[in-house]
Amino acid sequence: APCGTVGCVARDAAGRLAAATSAGGAPGGPAGRVGRTPIVGAGFFADGAAGASATGWGEALATVQMAARVVALVDAGAAPDSA
């Protein structure tokens, strides 16, 4: 049974960012399905200025590399809540 998704973005004492996401899986998915969670840029992404952890339907997030796009928008000056 799916257990939900949890994600986190953290900054260490040296100011470095890290992001991670863990998902419970999609119900009814085929055996061996790989969602967006393990794909850097889709389910999680961080650089020196911003980080993101994404949740939603994995295939759609992976196709557009959602987390990396959000971080790029923040890097370009967008507010995190509108990126």
- Catalytic positions, written as ranges: 5
DSSP 31-71: TT---STTSBTTTEEE-SS-EEE--S-HHHHHHHTHHHHHH
- Are the CB atoms for 9 and 18 separated by under 8 Å? yes
